[in-house]
Chain A
Amino acid sequence: GDSVTQMEGPVTLSEEAFLTINCTYTATGYPSLFWYVQYPGEGLQLLLKATKADDKGSNKGFEATYRKETTSFHLEKGSVQVSDSAVYFCALKPPNFGNEKLTFGTGTRLTIIP
């Protein structure tokens, strides 16, 4: 079945550091890929997405590129801020119409210290 593997957390970085959170997936065909962010006490918010190979999703300084050859969708940000502290989830949706199920990774807790 489909699965998403994220790097284990927690991740602690200093402000302005470079961030990478690894995400790899197992799925048939070309799934849609997503990064969601969950701030403390809140629901999940869609951060960015990519729907086909080599697509780059970007939002709020975060980027992720859909790499079919390595089945990866790593999240990056050049300079993190304290306000980026949250839990980040990688997720996929199968390509076939009628299958709306999102499969999530286990989440990576990110803490940014001033």
Chain B
Amino acid sequence: DTAVSQTPKYLVTQMGNDKSIKCEQNLGHDTMYWYKQDSKKFLKIMFSYNNKELIINETVPNRFSPKSPDKAHLNLHINSLELGDSAVYFCASSLRTAPYEQYFGPGTRLTVT
């Protein structure tokens, strides 16, 4: 009965490669998010989708491209990976109405060598 799941949990790759992270939620939420957590544990939102529509797009390099095929799925594709992309990426979901609680996935630890 996993609520928000992400795959893979760990991703080790070389600079210049392209990789994808997948996220799925079974909570019936209409809004999904991608967050990046750096090595100091600082969390910053990257993107958000509501019913497949992009509603938040922070200042993120355009090598990062989110895609939402339906409201239960949100994927993140990263082109030309760089060392600075190493981080933990969290997916989250919520309803777009009160109480606005966001539920987080377990995270994907990306290491770029």
Contact flag A100-B55 (CB < 8 Å), given A46-B102, A49-B101, A51-B99: yes
Interface bin, chain A = 20 to 34
Cβ contact within 8 Å between A43 and B90? yes
Cβ contact within 8 Å between A89 and B94? no
> Total contacts A to B, CB within 8 angstroms?
55
Q: Contacting B43 at CB < 8 Å: which of A32, A49, A107?
A: A107
Give the Cβ gap from A97 to chain B, nearest Cβ, in Å.
8
Cβ contact within 8 Å between B102 and A32? no
Interface bin, chain B = 20 to 34
CA distance A43 to B93 in the complex (A): 13
Cβ contact within 8 Å between B107 and A43? yes
Q: Does A60 contact B (CB under 8 A)?
A: no
Closest to B102 in A: A102
Question: Which chain A residues numbered 29 to 88 have a C-beta less than 8 Å away from chain B?
Answer: 32, 34, 36, 38, 42-46, 49, 51, 87
Cβ contact within 8 Å between B94 and A100? yes
- CB neighbours of A22 from chain B (8 A): none
Q: Contacting A100 at CB < 8 Å: which of B40, B99, B100, B107?
A: B100
Q: List 28 A-B contacts (CB under 8 A).
A: A32-B98, A32-B99, A38-B41, A42-B106, A43-B4, A43-B105, A43-B106, A44-B43, A44-B90, A44-B92, A46-B103, A51-B98, A51-B99, A87-B41, A100-B31, A100-B33, A100-B48, A100-B50, A100-B56, A101-B48, A101-B56, A102-B45, A102-B102, A104-B43, A104-B44, A106-B40, A107-B41, A107-B43
Q: Which residues of B contact A (CB under 8 A)?
A: 4, 31, 33, 40-45, 48, 50, 55-56, 90, 92, 94, 96, 98-107
